[in-house]
Amino acid sequence: MINKEVITNWFMSLQDDICRQLEDADGTAKFKEDAWQREGGGGGRTRIIEGEVIEKGGVAFSAVHGETPAKILEALRLPETDFYATGVSIVMHPKSPMVPIIHMNVRYFEMENGSSWFGGGIDLTPHYVDPEDAKYFHQELKKVCDKHHTSYYPRFKEWADEYFYVRHRQETRGIGGIFFDRLTEDEQMNKEHLFRFVQDVGQAFAPLYTYFIRKNKDKPYGEQEKNWQLVRRGRYVEFNLVWDKGTKFGLDTNGRTESILMSLPPQANWFYNHQPEAGSPEQKTLSYLKKGLNWVS
């Protein structure tokens, strides 16, 4: 039987497995764990790595519960009820600008009134968009989705394009991926099926990212590429602090600030009215930051 205890324990094991694979890919660094308790109920394990390949990365597990804040009830259009939320959230900021930033989140919510749902997704934010890498990334995600339902990839890919859109910049955060929220069981998809899908999404993360590490970590770069990396990190920060619902949920539920903001890079820059040179690799990357690009055909 699938219940919150089974889901929570699996998320904990997923954190362990991903951390092992990322340590192997980095080659030198080990994760440092920061276990914490939430005053309102529950807690988590935040793990941070600072290595040769991954400049700053976080793999966080949490399982929190308690009284649902009024802001959340209003946003979800729910009556007053307690909540339980558990999941794994990951952001990797590499040292090399030739290796992409990646984010993943898989989560489960359960309300005291009996309603429950899954959410999550994976998206990729290259500092320099390589169409070959983008195609590989989306093809792999499509395989995961098609295993469960052929409607999942187009539906969740479009959802990611919309969600990871930096509206005030009129550009996507990166090349997207898949995003889904409030997936509830129905006549076609029961809770067991939805959980298997979320499990497959979670297990796809480490093989995908270690592939990009191996492929790109030894590519040469210079000061121009590092400066551009800092500009793109700045855009990443803008999205997370202005638009990301997960950040807002964590802060609104009195979550642990250090864990919520682990997604931010160690350094970022904001140059006034920064405009890449016409025809440059930087300008070409900006041309790919659009909704609706088809990477799988």
Q: Would you list the domain boundaries of the chain?
A: 4-287
Averaged pLDDT, groups of 10, the chain, 297 residues long: 95 98 96 92 95 97 87 70 93 98 97 90 98 98 97 97 96 97 83 96 98 97 97 96 87 82 94 93 97 95
Residue 46 confidence (pLDDT)? 96
User: What's residue 76's pLDDT?
Assistant: 66
pLDDT of 81 reads: 80
Residues 6+ positions from 157 with CB-CB distance below 8 Å: 138, 141, 176, 177, 178
- Domain 4-287: CATH superfamily is Coproporphyrinogen III oxidase, aerobic (3.40.1500.10)
Predicted confidence at residue 230, as pLDDT, reads 97
Residue 202 near residue 14 (C-beta atoms within 8 A): yes
Query: In which region does residue 290 sit, left (phi positive, over 0), alpha (psi from -120 to 50) or beta (all else)?
Result: beta
Q: Which of 65, 93, 103, 138 is catalytic?
A: 103
What per-residue confidence (pLDDT) applies to 75?
Answer: 67
Tokens for 139?
């093809």
pTM: 0.94
103 noted as active-site residue: yes
pLDDT of residue 187: 61
